[in-house]
Chains A and B, each alone.
Chain A
Amino acid sequence: MPEQIPMQNLSFNQRVDRDLNNPALRTHFREAMDFLMDKRSHSFTDDEKLQSLRELGSSIRKRALSKLPDLLEQLENKLRDNGIRVHWAESSKEANQIVLDIAQHHGAKTMIKGKSMVSEETELNECLEQEGIHPVEADMGEYILQLAKEKPSHIVMPAIHKSKEDIAKLFEQNLDDCEYTEDVDTLIQAARKELRKQFHSADIGLTGVNFMVAETGSLVLVENEGNGRLATTVPKVHIAMTGIEKVTEYLDDLPPLLTLLTNSATGQAITTYVNIISSPRKGGEGGPEEVHLVLLDNGRTIPFADEEMRQTLQCIRCAACMNHCPVYTRLGGHAYGATYPGPIGSILSPHLLGLEATKDLPSASSLCGACSEVCPVKIPITDLLRRLRHEGVRKLKKDEEPVIRGHGAKYTHTEKLAWGSWSKLYSSPALYRTFAFSASMMRGLTPSKMKGWTDYRTTPKPAEKSMHALIKQHRKARKGEPL
Chain B
Amino acid sequence: MSLSARANILSRLRAGLGKSSPLTKGSDQGSVAHYNWSESEKIEHFIEVISGVKGEVHRVSESNWPEAVQTLLSDRGIDRLLVSEEKQTGKRLIGSTLELIPTTGFDERKDELFFSIPASLTTAQSAIAETGSLVLWPDEQEPRSMSLVPPVHLVLLRAQDIHGTLADVIRAEGWARGMPTNALLISGPSKTADIARILAYGAHGPKELIILLVS
Chain B residues with CB under 8 Å of A310's CB are: 16
Query: A185 to B51, alpha carbons, bound, how many Å?
Result: 20
Flag if B24 contacts A63 (CB, 8 Å).
yes
Query: A70 to B14, alpha carbons, bound, how many Å?
Result: 9
Flag if B184 contacts A251 (CB, 8 Å).
no
Flag if A225 contacts B190 (CB, 8 Å).
yes
Known: A200-B110, A286-B138. A56 touches B31 (CB 8 A): yes
Q: Which single residue of chain B is at the shortest CB-CB distance from A68? A: B13
Flag if A276 contacts B183 (CB, 8 Å).
yes
Query: Which of B15, B179, B188, B194: most chain A Cβ within 10 A?
Result: B194
Q: Which single residue of chain B is at the shortest CB-CB distance from A186? A: B200
Query: Which of A60, A70, A301: most chain B Cβ within 10 A?
Result: A301
Query: Which of B13, B192, B195, B198: most chain A Cβ within 10 A?
Result: B195
Query: A277 to B184, alpha carbons, bound, how many Å?
Result: 9
Contact with A along B186-215 (1 / 0, CB 8 A): 111111111111101011111000000000
Flag if A67 contacts B22 (CB, 8 Å).
yes
Query: A93 to B15, alpha carbons, bound, how many Å?
Result: 24
Contact with B along A233-254 (1 / 0, CB 8 A): 1100000000010000111101
Chain A residues with CB under 8 Å of B167's CB are: 252, 255
Flag if B194 contacts A141 (CB, 8 Å).
yes
Stretch binding the partner chain, chosen from B64-72, B75-83, B141-149:
B141-149
Flag if B144 contacts A140 (CB, 8 Å).
no
Chain B residues with CB under 8 Å of A70's CB are: 22
Stretch binding the partner chain, chosen from B2-10, B87-95, B154-162:
B2-10
Chain A residues with CB under 8 Å of B190's CB are: 224-226, 272-273
Pick from A59, A66, A224, A305: contact of B203, CB below 8 A: A224
Flag if A35 contacts B16 (CB, 8 Å).
no
Pick from B10, B130, B186, B203: contact of A227, CB below 8 A: B203
Q: Does A215 contact B (CB under 8 A)?
A: yes
Known: A66-B22, A192-B204, A301-B13. A272 touches B170 (CB 8 A): no
Flag if A305 contacts B194 (CB, 8 Å).
no
Q: Does A17 contact B (CB under 8 A)?
A: no
Known: A167-B196, A195-B204. A55 touches B29 (CB 8 A): yes
| Closest beta carbon of chain A to B1's beta carbon, Å | 6
Q: Does B59 contact A (CB under 8 A)?
A: no
Query: A225 to B191, alpha carbons, bound, how many Å?
Result: 5
Query: Which of A54, A167, A218, A224: most chain B Cβ within 10 A?
Result: A224
Flag if A297 contacts B194 (CB, 8 Å).
no
Pick from B21, B145, B176: contact of A252, CB below 8 A: B176
Flag if A278 contacts B181 (CB, 8 Å).
yes
Interface residues of B (CB under 8 A from A): 1-2, 5-6, 8-10, 12-17, 20-25, 27-33, 49, 53, 104, 106-107, 110-111, 114, 130-133, 138-140, 143-146, 148-149, 165-167, 170, 175-176, 178-198, 200, 202-206
Interface residues of A (CB under 8 A from B): 32, 35, 49, 51-60, 62-63, 66-70, 72-73, 87-90, 94, 97-98, 138-141, 144, 157-160, 162-164, 167, 184-185, 187-189, 192, 195-196, 199-200, 215-218, 224-227, 229-230, 232-234, 244, 249-252, 254-256, 258-259, 266, 269-287, 295, 297, 301, 304-307, 310
The 9 closest A-B pairs by CB, nearest first: A55-B30, A226-B205, A56-B30, A286-B143, A305-B16, A226-B204, A225-B203, A140-B194, A141-B194
